Structure 1
Amino acid sequence: MDTKAAAQVYLTRRQGSRPPAPLLSVIVPVYNEQDVLPHFLEATRPVLERTGLAYEYIFIDDGSRDGTADTLSAQLKDGLPGRLIGLSRNFGKEAALSAGLEAARGDIAVIIDADLQDPPELILQMLDGWRAGYDVVYGLRVDRSSDTLMKRSTAGWFYRLFNRLANIEMPANAGDFRLIDRAVIDALLRLPERNRFMKGLFAWVGFPAMAIPYERPARKAGTGKFNYWKLWNFALDGLTGFTTLPLRVWFYGGVLVSLIAFAYALYLTLRVFVSGVDVPGYASLMVAILFFSGIQLLSIGMIGEYIARLFNEAKQRPVYVIQDIIEGGVQTGERQTEKDADDN
């Protein structure tokens, strides 16, 4: 049986195992999004009602300093199904997504941003893909004209570099907007690493995936929270988390430079025996020193990036800390760690 036929058999089997009335968890990480939240709820609630499924919102407040928590608390007390998980500080979007996956009780989950750059209407198409047997249905951004030229260019470079270096294939221009089956959620929750690059983890766990192309609109309200410095560090986390090729590059580079240096030293020695003592020039000496010093600093810096991540993993701190949970008007003010949440 060829690969295509085997995949079709799997899809057919998965299609027959879908529960008739699944619970849908909508995971929404938020950080200072008070301006856009009313628009988000206004846009998503009709779509979720059209699915005909029971659903819950899982909002993860990643240390917001505005009225985000107050806005969501009021909505929950007015009957909005779901809960608000408040983190004790800003841990970053990857940690917030991990908290949302941990809290989701649904048979399926949709991950979506609150800025409405991910059209909620696509959830209906994602459900169709899930019912057809796909365990992952992700949005593929085919038009990013709402982003700046610099952001589009750097994103394209990153995806190409990642797919060349890493041992997995990550779809270019696929963000966090996706529907995932319970089996995928459980697989992601078994991954213990602290430095989490969710786009890479979604690809690493595998499972049959389906893409839905869409044009990405501009933000409905508010401002984006990612700057280029954060994006650069985000890219470093992705590359160092899924490939050790940079370390190997510097190893082979070191071997090559050592061979060249040995050959040049042998040449100088032979020239001294043949022509007598040769006094090297200052310029050539400085060029050589600066070149090899730069190579050493770059290689040490690359090794340091991996050692820093090993240091973070060895400490075994939780990915996030929960400050409070608001659900249906009932608030628990106790502070919990990720492990405490599991025990509950």
Structure 2
Amino acid sequence: MKKFSIIVPVYYNEANLPDTIPQLLELGDRLTGYELELVFVDDGSGDRSLQILLDFQKKFPEIIKVLKLTRNFGAMAAVQAGLSQVRGDCVGIIAADLQDPPELFVEMAAEWKRGTRVVLAVRQEREDPGLQRFCSNAYYALLRRFALPGYPSGGFDFVLIDRQVVQDLLRIQEKNTNVMALIYWLGYRPVLIPYTRRARKKGKSRWTLAKKLKLFVDSFVSFSYFPIRLLSLVGLLVAGAAFLYGLIILASWMIWSVPVRGWVPTMILLTITAGVQMSMLGILGEYLWRTLDETRKRPPYVIDAVFEAGLSAAEKRSGE
């Protein structure tokens, strides 16, 4: 019997888990011919999320596995941790907030059974607020244009992948990256299943603006050379503008005897140039920091404990 694993990153989801876990468990009856494995990754939650997970794990020890990370490493690191622990022939990834419909895994499993190694549930419509929809659409449009051509316009973080794809992802071991973009970057021909992303009904999203901006920067630095090329282009434009301005000043003085009054034009030019240079240094710094972070060889996550059937207390604490 094939094993169907589902990874669920968890971060402050105590309001959602009592509804999410039963709905995922129901898939065991709907996915005929599969053995279900649910892998929940607690990403340093400070609420009762871990306790709720452990209560369900005790009731369904043969199905549910719980990973506890030492602290909050981020959603992408939590997914990477889950990938390192799953045993499934195919592996699904879904959020814990029920904005994505778990029942769609049945259709995705049918596609996988036909030989598709990457099945993406793509957002055709979103019930999110207008500003959030606009920002998401802009992000994916930029990603398609400058980093990953052909990337689904609505984006995705609800997927089903083959075991071979899991092994490919585990070999990469990048930090400060976007796992979903990595799945697409691998090059397997995906099957897209459209769906409507539901509005969040319970709990408060911890997907803050700072985290969204980090994902935006990580995606572009990891998958696009456009920021570096942009530095060269901006540098040429600023140099050209400064040279042209200098010619105008020189011509005005030599031909029309127009004196340059005061330091205002010079200071404006210097201020603009300095601002552009600082912005360019910031972009270079993003690349330099990521290079340094990779050379340190620090793991993208640390598993504090693993809770599953058959593990001793010592094994649970060590996460081995």
**TM-score, length-normalised on structure 2?**
0.92
C-alpha distance in structure 2 between counterparts of 1:167 and 1:121, whole Å: 29
Residue among 138, 145, 155 paired with 2:136: 155
**Contact 1:168/1:204 (8 A) holds in 2:** no
Residue among 27, 35, 41 paired with 1:47: 27
C-alpha distance in structure 2 between counterparts of 1:275 and 1:33, whole Å: 72
Matches within 5 A, 1:195-344: 195-269=176-250, 272-274=253-255, 278-328=259-309, 330=311, 331=313, 332-335=315-318
C-alpha distance in structure 1 between counterparts of 2:2 and 2:251, whole Å: 79
Q: Which runs of 5+ in 2 are unaligned?
A: none
Distance 1:268 1:35, change over 3 A: closer
Please tell me whether residue 91 in structure 1 is matched to residue 73 in structure 2.
yes
Distance 1:175 1:292, change over 3 A: same
C-alpha distance in structure 2 between counterparts of 1:30 and 1:103, whole Å: 15
User: Runs in 1 of length 4+ with deviation above 6 angstroms?
Assistant: none
Residue among 111, 115, 119 paired with 1:133: 115
Distance 1:289 1:43, change over 3 A: same
Please tell me whether residue 175 in structure 1 is matched to residue 142 in structure 2.
no
Matches within 5 A, 1:53-132: 53-80=34-61, 81-132=63-114
C-alpha distance in structure 1 between counterparts of 2:297 and 2:49, whole Å: 30
Q: Which runs of 5+ in 1 are unaligned?
A: 1-20
C-alpha distance in structure 2 between counterparts of 1:86 and 1:224, whole Å: 20
Matched residue type, 1:70: Q
Indicate the percent of aligned positions where both proteins have the same amino acid: 35
How far off its partner does 1:199 sit? 1.9
Q: Deviations over 1:136-193 (max 9, x none)?
A: 1111112212x11111000000111111111443212232111101111111111131
Q: Deviations over 1:235-289 (max 9, x none)?
A: 1111111112111111122123223323443454455555668333443233212
How far off its partner does 1:134 sit? 1.3
Q: For the aligned residues, what is the CA RMSD? A: 1.9
Distance 1:269 1:216, change over 3 A: closer
Q: State the match for 2:125 in structure 1.
A: 143
C-alpha distance in structure 1 between counterparts of 2:170 and 2:117, whole Å: 16
Q: Which moved more, 1:282-291 or 1:172-181?
A: 282-291
Distance 1:274 1:65, change over 3 A: same
Q: State the match for 1:30 in structure 2.
A: 10
C-alpha distance in structure 1 between counterparts of 2:237 and 2:21, whole Å: 59
**TM-score, length-normalised on structure 1?**
0.86
Matched residue type, 1:116: L
How far off its partner does 1:220 sit? 4.2
**Contact 1:138/1:174 (8 A) holds in 2:** no
Q: State the match for 1:193 in structure 2.
A: 174
**Contact 2:122/2:193 (8 A) holds in 1:** yes
C-alpha distance in structure 2 between counterparts of 1:205 and 1:276, whole Å: 64
**Contact 1:168/1:203 (8 A) holds in 2:** no
